[in-house]
Amino acid sequence: MIADKLGRRFNNLRVSLTAACNYACTYCVPNGKRLMKAQNELSAPDLLKITQLIQAVTGFEKLRMTGGDPLVTPKFEAFLLGVAQLPLTDFSLTTNGQLLLAKEAVIVESGIKRLNISLDTLNPLRFKQIARGGDLETVLKGIERMLELGIAIKINMVPMRQSNQEDILPLLDYCLERGIELRYIELMRMGHLNQDSVYQSEFLSMQHLLDEIGTQYSFERTDAPFDSTAVRYKVPGKGYFGIIANESEPFCTSCTRLRLSSDGYLYGCLSNTARTYVGDLVDEPTDVALPKLEAILTKALGDKRLAFQGETTVMKFIGG
Ligand code: SAM
């Protein structure tokens, strides 16, 4: 097993099925353009083959499909059903939720047990301003349907001082009422935000969020798994919420994530542009591909940083 001096190993693969997204969130898509794929994206069978090779080398147990938005691509069905056959302790999906109702049949068929849905506001106008695509009503209906089906949901919100600060408490109310765990994600210096004054004016820290939540709820910090990205809080008698505090409390020293982009590159760290193309390994016999991949993965593990430093890579290309 490949591990580094801190005991970090790859146990969590994030696969970006496509860079195309039906939203163009202000903090993620710099040019505001929707549905832009990456060049030379791999097919579902090729992404699945690489996934299996990576599992053979690392023994990873958890996989998350992401993007872009994984539900916009016709690859989604084949990849999801393929992943459902792998020996994993957990597979899940991050989506903006716009197409959940349209994809209900395959979601049920796959047996997936949990989903992360990104939702930054419950206000239709602010929704349009931030997401720049889709509509709020469809997402809310999709969430209700997934809950009816017994699928556990976490909602991801990126709180921002000027864009959606007034949604911090209403979204928590909405989630606690429905048994949903809300994850506030501190705004990250990714892509166009890396060197941008907008980042400073929009960023809200974990302490700011806790202060605001404390005006309405009492809460206590609870244990989270070793490789969890979130600091988790219990609201007694009501439920849980978490904060992914990339800046305030970085989790890099226990990070077990590896990212495979839709165009076939492996990234060992979200805060490092270093990447290696592995799309060509699908044409190699397995006994040739595996040692090559082991060397690539050893290098990728060495790319992991000790703290998030900001990064020019656009999130939608490598998956959140
Ligand atoms: N389209 C899917 C979605 O909306 O969940 C999956 C891809 S999206 C890139 C994954 C996550 O990354 C979303 O929860 C999104 O809010 C988050 N994200 C993107 N850019 C971010 C940034 N600069 N800071 C914090 N979170 C970001």
Dist CA 10 CA 187 (whole Å) = 25
Model pLDDT, residue 281 = 98
Asked whether 230 and 249 are in contact (CB, 8 A), the reply is: no
Model pLDDT, residue 251 = 87
- pTM of the predicted model over 0.75: yes
Tokens of residue 211, six digits: 């202060």
Q: Are strands 257-260 and 265-267 parallel, antiparallel or unpaired?
A: antiparallel
Average pLDDT over residues 285-290: 98
CATH of domain 12-318: 3.20.20.70
Q: Pick the more confident residue, 180 or 317.
A: 180
Ligand 1 centre to CA of 309 (Å) is 17
- Residues with a CB atom less than 6 Å from ligand 1: 21, 27-28, 66-67, 69, 94-96, 118, 156, 158, 185, 187-188, 190, 193, 315-316, 320
Residue (of 139, 140, 111, 238) closest to 181 by Cα position: 238
pLDDT of 74 higher than 80: yes
- Radius of gyration over every alpha carbon of the chain, rounded to an integer in angstroms: 19
Runs of H (alpha helix) within the chain: 44-58, 75-83, 104-110, 124-131, 136-148, 168-178, 197-202, 206-214, 286-302, 315-318
The per-residue pLDDT for range 250-263, each reduced to its tens digit, is: 889 999 999 999 99
With a CB cutoff of 8 Å and minimum separation 6, the contacts of 150 are none
- Range name among 51-65, 209-223, 241-255, 301-315 with the lowest pLDDT average: 301-315
Domain locations in the chain as residue ranges:
12-318
Q: Could you report how far apart the first and last alpha carbons of the chain are, in Å? A: 25
Pocket mutation for ligand 1, best pick of 94, 146, 192 (most atoms within 8 Å of C-beta): 94
Ligand 1 centre to CA of 85 (Å) is 27
Q: What ligand 1 atom has the least distance to the C-alpha of 188?
A: 24
Q: What ligand 1 atom has the least distance to the C-alpha of 186?
A: 25
The per-residue pLDDT for range 82-137, each reduced to its tens digit, is: 999 999 999 999 999 999 999 999 999 999 999 999 999 999 999 999 999 999 99
Model pLDDT, residue 233 = 97
Dist CA 315 CA 29 (whole Å) = 8
